[in-house]
Structure 1
């Protein structure tokens, strides 16, 4: 019997393969003429490229070449009365256009590198005529790219197929009948009656197809109909399926190709919706929609029509599917502010779901940001990728660091590229960890990552699986409908508190150091610009609010989860870093322009050499500044300025700055060097504390066996070199002392200034590096004297406590952690923080603070980060815990230096010292000051920073008459603000974000 079953299964398999090869019958050839260019050109310029007459076997281009193909031919007379299709495979991607120059069908190649276990990625069939009269002319234009879905160069770009074929629809339908039932066998219990019934039907139908003709096809379909018509009973699990085409805005291809991928994907969706009335498709990322609007307006109009109909769901709310570890809190707010606004203005849709299927871990600040942006639900796939521990839930309440919760769901199949087969359904049911609590889950089906989306095969299967006996029923519907039902039982779901840490891809905290440097600088510079813009008349400067929004949106684009994390090809960074540099210069010029306008309003006519000191942070700043030969100790109020006269020095430095090759010292800290030049001691003179135990500033070069995403957990075993300085020189200034050390290692060189400033215990390590290593990683470590079992880590709008022990697999899996500006080890009376101005990857092992400075991988971006780098990290010993020690304040000072600018004498009306807005409670950090999106008044965003309740008064000298609390989308919350004696009185819960609209 087993032999007979095996033999019959082989017969069934051969039958399915025979049907697959037979339902399309080629009857003629197509002629192809291509015009090949290096970059895309519009249709009107299509004949500019190199002309090539092409036939199967010919190579038409190199990787990333583009072209316009003219496809011509004539339907043979033998096609009369039959459905005619065109079979086109160019070993690349293409998009066919109609006579109105609207893209109507995406084409992809058979040899694509897409993972075959998730289905065939191919889209090579173009439906030309439902019923031919014979002899019809074929005259089409197709825009092409010589790359596959994953940016690979396949078969040297040869033309694989260009044919006219007859599609035998009954045979095609029979093929899918066979395929679905054969796949169903693999998930049924072999001793079940259903298994034997389906097996018998397939066996009968296979033997009935002898010979294969129209009559036997009808007989076989009738045989299988009985099995396909058998329905399940009352389901214990129901699956909501939505078509998906995860489109990375850059990854293994440049941004310019993403725009064309979007058009290929969405044009295919539009065509399939005409043929399959149950088809519901969803897509996120307003940036992608905006590109379609700009470059493919006719296609965009079709998309709008389907969105209005309810069959094309816009998803997500964020401007792009952003990384959430590295961007600042304000960046995450802007992702939602601009993303939600776009979908609302374009489609009248209010987004309720954060759609981030492929992002590399999720900040514990997100739930509050989401809830205060009107987002109730969260969807991801990625936690299923964790390598050490299995995340315990698929449907759960996710509670952030402030106690805010959102309802989260992870489709249990564990992919956003579902094949939509019975096996996919069974996998979802088997994996679903909350099936005892919830009786519904999501399925995202289609070809993704490189776009493409569902093919006809997915939709044919789903037609047969609506309520097929043996598997859970599958319904196609928008994801929001699923989530709205899910919330009815929200109180029954488990709660996960804190961040959603992905136990994989920790290398993305460091890879592409230049991207991360520019991202940090742009975030801070845009914040400064927006604050200054609130202080001047809009028509007084050479830019407007739209200019700032455009700049923000470009920064948000580069925060996409395969750009900012460093996991794209080299070309992506060649292009984005060049754009970053231009944008950064533009913002800095705009800041300078605004300060020129502002200083004219300040009374400085009695000064000989006036200088403006601008403090764009929430904290009072007291520090030494040097202008020329003069030194000034200045105290500048929060979000304010102070004018000094450089010819009138009020404070002469009397600082104990000392040093030679063996030590550097100020009034707060002494740093000692051993004979090799390494730091052997750091002593806090104010608090009589030894700061380190062993060698400080340990610079260690490791072999890096990972790629752009991943660092091996055992990297500490692969030490290449512990760096020792080649040379040390010491410079003692009036207000600083500096030890300059040079290093040579491998093919790289580094210069580091170790600087102490008067009156400060912060030790700055200002680094200039020429990095030319391959598969290496450079890290710095400080073995501190602090005994504690938790590290406090700066994240967006607050901080998070993480274990620095290795007691459990959950703790061990977090061998690399992400933080914003600092990580601190503290106990009740003392602590040490390691700060940075552009780094994010930390390791904390016991009492040792470790920072990943740079790593160079060769996949997917070759020679990653080779070149020049400038960055600063700092060690900050302090009394008390994190908050008492002013760690956050010191990190802002490191990242946002005072703006110092010479002034022209002016008869303005503003005083020589002014704070425009400030809080009287240091727990309350004012993070953002900007013009309101509606153009009326200003927005002030702040948060509680210590992790405790707080009451404070906000004093604002920017003109306003009313104050209203709003959410992060700047919508009224109907909360009255208490104002006493001109001060806004506010009460905060731990890590609470508040936003005020002053107008």
Structure 2
């Protein structure tokens, strides 16, 4: 065949394929349609309670986020009887067809995943009779798969900052469907796609092009000839794959973001549309397998669509519906605490076990923005052996070297990990995705298969029928990997046999993208941190009471509120305003409920005492931070439980006391007869005690820090700490998600004083208050230094009114080291302070939970925080990202009032020989004050250890006993001695509390424990 003939015939095939889209129906007729407008979703049972009106094709039915019910009716023409009939419904949004009151099939008006993607044809899976009257109920939503129509880079003068949308009845038809032509179009689709990845001129390519030309000739522009045309393609579609071809284990998938460009309420309906559609496909395709993660999504369906949920349970029991992922939601893995990560597994796996009787063995989080080095241990201790993601393929600078490997964490634990080489979790089952995946699969000499996750998520309904038909055609086709329907768990079990031959990656899986998610939506991040810390105190306080009084149901609700809002587009800050309106309300309600529960426990432990306050310390280190007493203290002196006066001062009308609450204990303070002394004015801008001296300039900059204990200057010559910098910040893409390195070139402001500083000093602490302006924003900083401490606290209130700006604060230190230490979940990770390689340079913004530390062997300095996560440590400077101001997808992101604390802490010794961890813990979990109660008690569980922390004391999930968790924090072999209640033993268990392992019997009331570096140990106390 000459080249010009090849080009001509191939072009003909492409045009022929496109034209077939208009011939899918022999004929159609409009359905009679009535419509009811709903501002908010209305359940099926209440669909008839409103007023309906007629609606025709082309009419608008709703605006942004509206809902509606459609009643569609038609009478079957005699010529259609017993033949394939289909609906063509497009309401320019998402829609759900019900059958007998149960969700049955989901429609999608379009998708960003493909300009021609529609899910608007529903082929009736049953025959119809002549004259039969058909009725269909459809619930519609005026939003796309990705919410509103929004500009991803909106102008500051946009008229629609929150997006716009029009619900329009584009199609309301029923027709006689040409199923044979539908198959012909699929044949062409697969062959055209295969030609695009085959060598441009070879026998196989030429053969396919000529076969398609022959099929077009046989079709002869007559839709009735579709079957004849297909005969011309049978030969080229039947050629088998080569013997060395890999196998793609194809698992039907529908990634549904719990909240993102739509509120969570829409995710509930997205689940119904998707799950209903997949159940129908399972009926139609006997070999098909579908999988879905996130127990929260199943819980949504159980609550809102119970009949659908029962169908899912039956499908799971059959083995054709796979439960995936051990976490409650697909949670962010940088920002949540170690214990939150544990509870994601605990609640997630318990739900699957309780509801379905299945132990899910994989962590399934394909779309999360990086993975902490602490995770392998938590994954394994949660009873999971496998981990799947693909998000690291988004890394901008460096290509990750493996697709299947053993991932090793900070403690040495390993988990078998797979990155699907198609680099997507919305695959389409087409050669142009599968062939490159086979080519670049790096472990292809060890394994002969990889996983393919195919189906459109976020409301696209997962795989649609066409996807399964393509998979059938690609099951064994020359020029392409073999496609085989399969479950993910079986895939992992097969490849596990080769794990000893696979490469190993040690340390974090850092995503070289989306670094802005460490900072944006600061209120949500702060509330998350506060709730994490408060829940630990609530559980501790109630563990001191009889187990019969433990508020398990209330705590379960609060924990699940926390967990759902840790979803990987909610807590990172990449969702729309509607999401955060709900999240901020839920966080406030949860914080109030948790505080109420803590107070209830303390009141049960003590007695009413109007002149007293009980302080609760749930940390395993003494809490000696100054305590600001309740307003009703009214200036009185402060007495401890023995009646001795404690150092106290009146500071801005409130009494601040110096008190030490023992580890894991409650302490009572009583109001004394006299008055606490008022603070004295502080002359100058110097905060000083016996350990350290700090000097400030008029703009709040720290100009000198002299460590008296070490006899050394903390800051480099001429440098200043607490240096605020405002930057113009506009990423190339993904505005809320990304920070680009070039922001460093766009500094546009520093903080300047707008009022003279004022200072005070007293026996408890001294302080300075600065009022600063920067850009269009204002800061008020109360900088305090407690007696006997080097920790300098910067309690900050910000009125933030910037657009596309970023605020950072920096502390250069006279400490030289090539690595900095960062706090992560239940451990620490070291990262370079230089940019020698592309891998080093890519980590210009990294996650630190409660601190980042620069330490030499005998000296260092740390920057602590109580609700921030984004750090830059470059050279000898500790730099913390405080606030951002993106305009997409939330136009109002972070505007308004913020409160946060960060602390500067010079220290002698290295990190592991300093008090940095305990100071960070104390900053984040101040003693909880419960006024009007006297309840002094010490937990019967106490710990003596240098580097081990008792992090959790709680009631077991399903047994009448306590559960405790201990963590080695310094990354070294360590010992600890635990005091156990009289008559009790320790039974080792996993993070899920499912196992009963070694039994440890106390000797003289104590148990000696040994720990590997960063090891987590969990015990039942029985």
Q: Output the TM-score relative to the length of structure 2.
A: 0.93
> How far apart are 1:167 and its partner, in Å?
1.1
- State how many pairs are aligned: 978
> How far apart are 1:76 and its partner, in Å?
2.4
> How far apart are 1:211 and its partner, in Å?
4.3
- CA, structure 1 residues 136+904, in 2 after alignment: closer, same or farther (shift >3 Å)? closer
Matched, 1:438 2:447: yes
Matched, 1:529 2:531: no
SS class of match (1:575): helix
Q: Deviations over 1:415-457 (max 9, x none)?
A: 0010101222102112312223322100000101344211111
Aligned equivalent of 2:1010: 987
Q: Is the 8 A contact 2:750 2:774 kept in 1?
A: no
Q: 1:168 aligns with which of 178, 188, 191?
A: 178
Q: Is the 8 A contact 1:75 1:164 kept in 2?
A: no
Between the aligned partners of 1:392 and 1:776, the Cα distance in structure 2 is 35
- CA, structure 1 residues 132+882, in 2 after alignment: closer, same or farther (shift >3 Å)? same
Aligned equivalent of 1:705: 730
1:333-352 correspondence to structure 2 within 5 Å: 333-352=342-361
SS class of match (1:17): helix
Q: Is the 8 A contact 1:105 1:267 kept in 2?
A: yes
Aligned equivalent of 1:857: 886
Q: Deviations over 1:927-953 (max 9, x none)?
A: 111001123210110110111001111
Q: 1:571 aligns with which of 564, 578, 581?
A: 578
Q: Is the 8 A contact 2:962 2:1021 kept in 1?
A: yes
Aligned equivalent of 2:791: 762
Matched, 1:966 2:989: yes
Q: Is the 8 A contact 1:658 1:664 kept in 2?
A: no
Matched, 1:824 2:825: no
1:457-606 correspondence to structure 2 within 5 Å: 457-538=466-547, 544-600=551-607
SS class of match (2:569): coil
Between the aligned partners of 1:113 and 1:904, the Cα distance in structure 2 is 59
Between the aligned partners of 1:741 and 1:26, the Cα distance in structure 2 is 76
Between the aligned partners of 1:456 and 1:308, the Cα distance in structure 2 is 23
> How far apart are 1:360 and its partner, in Å?
0.2
SS class of match (1:636): coil
Aligned equivalent of 1:773: 802
Q: Is the 8 A contact 2:668 2:934 kept in 1?
A: no
1:314-393 correspondence to structure 2 within 5 Å: 314-393=323-402
Between the aligned partners of 1:239 and 1:484, the Cα distance in structure 2 is 15
Matched, 1:671 2:699: no
Aligned equivalent of 2:641: none
> How far apart are 1:168 and its partner, in Å?
1.4
Aligned equivalent of 2:102: 102
Between the aligned partners of 1:654 and 1:885, the Cα distance in structure 2 is 33
Q: Is the 8 A contact 1:777 1:856 kept in 2?
A: yes
Matched, 1:303 2:326: no
1:856-895 correspondence to structure 2 within 5 Å: 856-895=885-924
Q: Which blocks of at least 5 consecutive residues in structure 1 are unaligned?
A: 907-911
Q: Deviations over 1:789-809 (max 9, x none)?
A: 111000011100000111000
- CA, structure 1 residues 677+636, in 2 after alignment: closer, same or farther (shift >3 Å)? closer
Q: Output the TM-score relative to the length of structure 1.
A: 0.95
Q: Deviations over 1:541-596 (max 9, x none)?
A: xx720110111011000000000000000010011101111110111111111111
Aligned equivalent of 1:951: 975
Q: 2:197 aligns with which of 173, 178, 187?
A: 187
Between the aligned partners of 1:904 and 1:763, the Cα distance in structure 2 is 32
Between the aligned partners of 2:998 and 2:52, the Cα distance in structure 1 is 67
Q: Is the 8 A contact 1:624 1:758 kept in 2?
A: no
Stretch moving more, 283-292 or 574-583? 574-583
1:27-426 correspondence to structure 2 within 5 Å: 27-49=28-50, 51-99=52-100, 101-109=101-109, 112-116=110-114, 120-128=116-124, 130-153=126-149, 156-214=166-224, 216-426=225-435
Stretch moving more, 895-904 or 766-775? 895-904
Q: Deviations over 1:332-364 (max 9, x none)?
A: 000000100111111111111100000000010
Q: Is the 8 A contact 1:249 1:255 kept in 2?
A: yes
Between the aligned partners of 2:728 and 2:122, the Cα distance in structure 1 is 50
Stretch moving more, 916-925 or 398-407? 916-925
- CA, structure 1 residues 131+790, in 2 after alignment: closer, same or farther (shift >3 Å)? same
SS class of match (1:596): helix
> How far apart are 1:236 and its partner, in Å?
4.2
- CA, structure 1 residues 934+231, in 2 after alignment: closer, same or farther (shift >3 Å)? same
SS class of match (1:619): coil
Between the aligned partners of 1:810 and 1:151, the Cα distance in structure 2 is 35
Q: Is the 8 A contact 2:804 2:884 kept in 1?
A: yes
- CA, structure 1 residues 626+80, in 2 after alignment: closer, same or farther (shift >3 Å)? closer
Q: Which blocks of at least 5 consecutive residues in structure 2 are unaligned?
A: 150-163, 630-634, 638-645, 648-657
Q: Deviations over 1:612-670 (max 9, x none)?
A: 332110112345556534344433321112334443999x9999x99433322222221
Matched, 1:640 2:650: no
> How far apart are 1:280 and its partner, in Å?
0.8
Aligned equivalent of 2:714: 691
Between the aligned partners of 1:479 and 1:149, the Cα distance in structure 2 is 26
Q: Deviations over 1:659-685 (max 9, x none)?
A: 433322222221112354422111112
Q: Deviations over 1:794-851 (max 9, x none)?
A: 0011100000111000000000000110000001111100000000000001100000
- CA, structure 1 residues 58+547, in 2 after alignment: closer, same or farther (shift >3 Å)? same
Stretch moving more, 871-880 or 928-937? 928-937
Q: Is the 8 A contact 1:108 1:122 kept in 2?
A: yes
- CA, structure 1 residues 210+942, in 2 after alignment: closer, same or farther (shift >3 Å)? same
Stretch moving more, 192-201 or 138-147? 192-201
